[in-house]
Amino acid sequence: MNKLQVRIGQVPLLIDQIFKLSFFCREITVSTSELNFPIIEREIKNIKRHLKHFSEILEIKNICGTDPGDNVRAFLDRAEIKIVLDDLNEIKTGKISRETGPIAGIYSGLNKAANHYSLILAFDMPFVSFRMIKTLVDILDEDIDFDKSKPFAGETKKGSDAFIIKTEKGFEVLSGIYSKGCMDALEYNISNKDNKISNIFKNIKVRIIEEEVLRSKNLDMLNFFNINRIEDYNRFEDIWSNEFLKCFYAAESGDTFFKRWAGFFFR
């Protein structure tokens, strides 16, 4: 099956990830192959219909120490999303081939981003939590010294090129923060058909976030669950339908989509 068919409740998983990013990001870019472009374009055109499922979020206050605030309200009103073709993006040595994989998506997204730093998130990770993303963003904020004269460009006087979580499985390269400072290393490796994302780390300044940081924030490994095989999809359905949530909403999660969604996202 094409993973773009996966839904969380009634909402396409792609749209679910876009909404989660709206808590933190001024712009949202979807990087895709030419083959999947029409499917993504269709879903984004229908995004207002999907986003009605999230309208209750605006009633939540002080969950995880935050109010959804104006960023989410503006996103619900505007929902402007950019789509980038990762297999047609020119680099110095020619076009990125369709076989290049996720490294091409990261390169293409960074290349088209308005900001210096981008939060990279694979769309097939259904249980990414607010606190996991906030942990990345907070560490970014600690690490860098923003040039206050260019607040929207996000250019920095100093700071790491990437912020990557490392678990016992290895680097979580598709749920991290990357900057435009990674682009030369990405381009070089793509040109040399080295498509393993973590291989760029030796050529950039990367801040690695170890598991003890995750434990200190009570972040579970469910954050990094992704759907690659039909067995993963079946596990996803089982977790979504049956797993007990040790979170704010656990006692009253009920069967409604929103309460269940909020239970997972704000756990």
Residues contacting 159, CB < 8 A, separation 6+: 140, 143, 144, 145, 179
Angle (CA) 75 80 81, round 5°: 115
Domain span at 138: 3-222
* Local structure of residue 116 (DSSP, 8 states): S
In a domain, 244, yes or no: no
| Total domains present in the chain | 1
Q: Is residue 96 part of a domain?
A: yes
Proportion of the chain above pLDDT 70, given as a percent: 79
Q: Closest by alpha carbon to 34, among 89, 113, 94?
A: 89
29 within domain boundaries: yes
CATH of the domain at 136: 3.90.550
Distance CA 74, CA 49 (A): 16
* pLDDT of 213 strictly over 90: yes
257 in any annotated domain: no
pLDDT of residue 151: 47
Instruction: Give the β-pairing of 162-167 and 117-121.
Output: unpaired
CA separation for the pair 241, 84 (Å, rounded):
33
**Residue 88 is assigned to a structural domain of this protein:** yes
pTM (2 decimals)? 0.86
pLDDT confidence bin for 76, thresholds 50/70/90: confident
pLDDT of 257 reads: 76
Q: Is residue 249 part of a domain?
A: no
Higher pLDDT, residue 187 or 70: 187
Give residue 152's pLDDT: 46
